[in-house]
Structure 1
């Protein structure tokens, strides 16, 4: 059966009784109301309805020169007669859609030229509303076309943020967008971060770590960059949105510089780079420059407690009683190894 006349489709309804009556009409070669009504035990009103249905679906057609005599036609002829107007309407709509699309797409160069001029006038925006910032990040992530570059300082990422980031990253990667992210070495010790990295790298993301990185940075398609807001007072920090092409290109160059000096994040590695000699030498370097424990921890993306534990281990292994002596003993090791930093401990 198919939808009836007066239904949403606009076609007549072929029910079981009408279908049986059509079969009897095919057997006799014409639709004889009295004969079919007698065989199917139909009343005058019912046979009139059946006739109306069969005519509605074009299975009965009038004989030329004798409109009162109805003959059955094949279903394919009836279907062609019934749907032809609808098909013509569909073709007209498709042509109208094609015409509209072509006219609108012809404005594409004008749009991009206007956007280029607008970007020059709106090269920078400072957004202080955190929900609005997140909405903009979500929009740009969903519409990113080619590449997404991210620098995430501060060590391990919060587990709740990673859950949302995982879904967004996998969706973005599925569209063929390249994702590159730089963490700090201390992120390698965090189990939720390792799980996130394992999932996204399996689908094509590239992640590296470094001992020190710049502030948080997100760049979309090398066109729009997000930087953290400075001097926000007591409220939550906002973001600076950069669209100026020269500055965005510079930020991309900064990212590439950091990327070239970072180490690939290999989840299956048995040894965490965050507890390696590379991190310890970074701590020694900052200690030698006079940085206090709090500043060393902040720059290396770890807690002060963890930093102090590393410093205690380093001074013990270097047989030092002070920061100065630790730096001196470390320098001696470097000189004795011919400029190559040997393992500590």
Structure 2
């Protein structure tokens, strides 16, 4: 079969990137034909068949590839003969348009990548916000706070930990939900409470402690101020809402709850068991423990208001204790009392 040169597509459409990539690398037959064509002004398809010794169909296909790459063209005035074209010229006509497309694609990719990067930051911030919302919950209003705490105590299965700051002047604390707490103790939930020493001088607090300890609760006291917290089953904690003592924050983040639980556990061995009955002996011991803590704070240079706040007592009560300490030392001024305390070896 004789191939008509006019059957070879002369006006080939511009190739897209995939079509262009499919033509590379050139097969050896196409390279051989291009080499023969460069050695003469023009050459016919039949001559190329003769020169290469390849089948006419194979030669025609190689010519078609070279035409598409603009490495060959039909000779002017001789529509059946082929002329070689410089690779630089072929690059200008074939590769430059493709290069412009690649550059445009790269620019578009860079723009999309930048937008995706910005969206990635939004996504990350959104995830953090969502997780923060899921791990913490703000509750306002004493009724709502009490309701959520009662719900937590009702669902407690293993353990309730409570840190209760303040003394006789602070009665309304989360763990004081008598019916819920007693029901939790009755079903085997362990309750541990840390108060301040000054709580031993509050008759309502003493009565509540006696009631829950009779049901198996453990209550201890410390001198210095502790931060209020309620931890249920080591999975959920309740802390006061900053700048709003009537509100609370529910915390479910495992790392934060573990930190609160660990702090409670480290404080627990240092605390003193709450006396079952506040007779003269325990009352004197509690008073001495309070004065010992006040002495430590006096040596640290704290003023009356700061000491009262940390000890969970009124400023007036704090000043009375300080006066008794000064009388015991025989000091007329706080400066003299501080000097004597250092001399006596108080640290």
TM-score when normalising by structure 1: 0.58
Equivalent-residue separation in structure 1 for 2:316 and 2:144 (angstroms)? 35
Any idea what SS the aligned residue of 1:325 has?
helix
Deviation at 1:254, TM superposition (A): 0.6
Match of 1:331 in 2: 342
Change (3 A) 1:191 1:260: same
Match of 1:319 in 2: 330
Superposition pairs of residues 216-231 of structure 1, within 5 angstroms: 216-231=228-243
Are 2:254 and 1:245 aligned?
yes
Deviation at 1:323, TM superposition (A): 1.9
Equivalent-residue separation in structure 2 for 1:215 and 1:164 (angstroms)? 16
Are 2:188 and 1:186 aligned?
no
Equivalent-residue separation in structure 2 for 1:158 and 1:213 (angstroms)? 13
Aligned to 1:307, which of 318, 342, 345? 318
Provide, for residues 240-279 of structure 1, a one-character-per-residue CA deviation record: whole Å limited to 9, x for no partner: 2111101100100111112111100022253226743222
Asked if the contact 1:224–1:248 (Cα under 8 Å) also holds between the matched residues in 2, the reply is: yes
Question: Higher Cα Rg: structure 1 or 2?
Answer: 2
Match of 1:292 in 2: 303
Any idea what SS the aligned residue of 1:219 has?
strand
Match of 2:291 in 1: 280
Equivalent-residue separation in structure 1 for 2:175 and 2:159 (angstroms)? 21
Equivalenced residues, count = 216
Match of 1:172 in 2: 184
Superposition pairs of residues 1-345 of structure 1, within 5 angstroms: 122-156=134-168, 165-232=177-244, 237-268=246-277, 270=279, 271-272=282-283, 275-334=286-345
Deviation at 1:167, TM superposition (A): 2.4
Deviation at 1:191, TM superposition (A): 1.6
Tell me whether 192-201 or 303-312 shows the greater mean CA deviation. 192-201
Change (3 A) 1:221 1:245: same
Change (3 A) 1:199 1:154: same
5+ long unaligned stretches in structure 2: 1-129
Any idea what SS the aligned residue of 2:326 has?
helix
Any idea what SS the aligned residue of 1:238 has?
strand
Equivalent-residue separation in structure 2 for 1:119 and 1:138 (angstroms)? 25
Provide, for residues 89-115 of structure 1, a one-character-per-residue CA deviation record: whole Å limited to 9, x for no partner: xxxxxxxxxxxxxxxxxxxxxxxxxxx
Change (3 A) 1:159 1:222: closer
Equivalent-residue separation in structure 1 for 2:312 and 2:175 (angstroms)? 21
Change (3 A) 1:237 1:192: closer
Asked if the contact 2:210–2:276 (Cα under 8 Å) also holds between the matched residues in 1, the reply is: yes
5+ long unaligned stretches in structure 1: 1-117, 340-345
Deviation at 1:187, TM superposition (A): 0.8
Change (3 A) 1:309 1:207: same
Change (3 A) 1:298 1:183: same
Asked if the contact 1:185–1:273 (Cα under 8 Å) also holds between the matched residues in 2, the reply is: no
Asked if the contact 1:162–1:193 (Cα under 8 Å) also holds between the matched residues in 2, the reply is: no
Any idea what SS the aligned residue of 1:334 has?
coil
Equivalent-residue separation in structure 2 for 1:267 and 1:137 (angstroms)? 27
TM-score when normalising by structure 2: 0.57
Change (3 A) 1:220 1:304: same
